[in-house]
Amino acid sequence: MLPTLQISDARTNIRPKVFCSAVIAVATIFGGNAPAAERPNIVLIMADDMGYGDLGCFGGEMTTPHLDGLAARGVRWTQFYNAAQCCPTRAALMTGMYSHQAGVGDMIDGHSKATREAAASPQYTTELKHNALTIAEQLRPGGYQTFMTGKWHLGYDDGERPVHRGFDRYFGIIGGADSYWQPKSLREDDRPVQVDPKNFYATNAFTDYAMRFVRERDPERPFFLYLAYNAPHSPLHARDEEVEQIGNRYAVGWDVVRRRRFERMKELGILPSNAILPSADAGSHSWESEPDKPKRIERMTKYAAIVERMDWNIGRLLKLLDEQKIADDTLIVFLSDNGAWASEATYGHDWAEAASPFRYFKTWTHEGGVRTPLIVSWPRRLADRGRIERKRYGHIIDLLPTFLAAAGSAPVATGGALPIVGRNLLPAWTTPNDVVDVPVYWERLGHGALRDGDWKIVRVFNSGGNAVQPAKRTGAWELYNLADDPTESRNLANVHPDRVSKMQSQYDDWQRSVGVVDREIILKRIAELGLTNE
């Protein structure tokens, strides 16, 4: 039963500010305008701040049978990338372009107000550009029903929320971090909603409404469902049931969990057998030296409980698709928006380091910040179910063009719509065919990276927050061959300086093309103008 909701008296009659498109052109992937029977339903599920190695099917010890089963029936990509943090990832996901191009070069919240004002650029705003069309705005002209539940975080004001950006139905939180029991930014369609915390849990409710939208759909037309959980983002609001089931699982500490996950990933083939587990980060300390083990165990247990409740809910949705006899014709994609968050707001630095075998965390552009587990399932079309794709890589900007290809539609190309930058990965998903890899780029809080084939350059921005330091804060470029060194353990910058120089020029060209404002300049302007955050 759906939770009892109290709809506020406020009603909106807003004319959406969204870009108005003409009739969509039709791609030729299915030989013209594909009949509805050939167009899949598309279900996109995204976790929030989930570590790369949390799921059982990616080497973790968490109990995630439904996602593990989805992986066994589908394909796991071991080298798929997000944009390192919440809003930028969601902007890139929705529009198929880099977040700066979509107007979300930084976070949209008050805590990034000074950065946006210092950047003074249309690439750094509080919403998606209205000619950067969302997946829903791209699919709906072709006949798709468009549903969303969960976390939006791409615009707070009238004309910026999901029902104004192409979604027919919506239930979820408009903001970023929010309570699981009594969220403040909860809306149904575009109406503010109040709930009784005794009878509400966000992960359950988002799934309830996703299932409701599927049941109430027009069965003669395909649908796109975007289920964006805020789980397992802080606050760590776990249900007692899952916490009790987990028990003392994490009493072994983060050193043991990190090593076990690493070895399990090699056993599964997620990592090559010769992969190296990097040395612990400078900010880490051993479990043996931890002074408050009970507190640390409790926080990790709550985090795992939130992940396991999410998996249970995903199982409910998968069961419904089976009951509706549409599972075979539904393309399902699961991923996370960034790497583990090394923050005391969640489980802290050391558990975050145990979350993956990669270096660094959310907001960094090393692999630990940008690599996500990706699961793809489409029973009607996928070959070699259970396959693990270890060779190819993809980026979150590739999902929109891939969905359009699956739907038999071309991108909207009239009236000033910005072009999609990502590429169609459908051939690589449906068969083990090779797809030519292309360069992918990152800039997040001054951290930067470029991957081109097996080679990656990456650098760290050394500033602490907005503090202005006398020395230059942008770190030196590091160079890694990810085919031989997926955990970025051997810096080859001094061995191949010419390659670093060439890739740096390539990266600089990209920054100019998408409108990145150098972080040194941003911090200098913040100091000179006395800018502050809200």
Name the residues annotated as catalytic: 86, 153
- 185's tokens: 């930014």
Distances in whole angstroms, Cα of residue 185 to Cα of each of 85, 175, 176? 20, 6, 9
What are 389's strand-pairing partners? 77
State both tokens at 168. Answer: 């027919």
Q: Please list the residues that pair with 45 across neighbouring strands.
A: 227, 334
Beta bridge partners of 374: 77
Helix (H) or strand (E) holding 530: none
The long-range contacts involving 209-213, CB below 8 angstroms and separated by at least 24 positions, are 209/2, 209/149, 209/171, 209/172, 210/147, 210/149, 210/317, 211/316, 211/317, 211/320, 212/2, 213/147, 213/149, 213/169
Q: Which amino acid is at 97?
A: M
- Partner residues linked to 77 by β-bridges: 374, 389
CA distance 305 to 311: 10
CA-CA distance, 148 to 189, in Å (whole number)? 9
CA–CA distance, 225 with 44 (Å, rounded to integer): 6
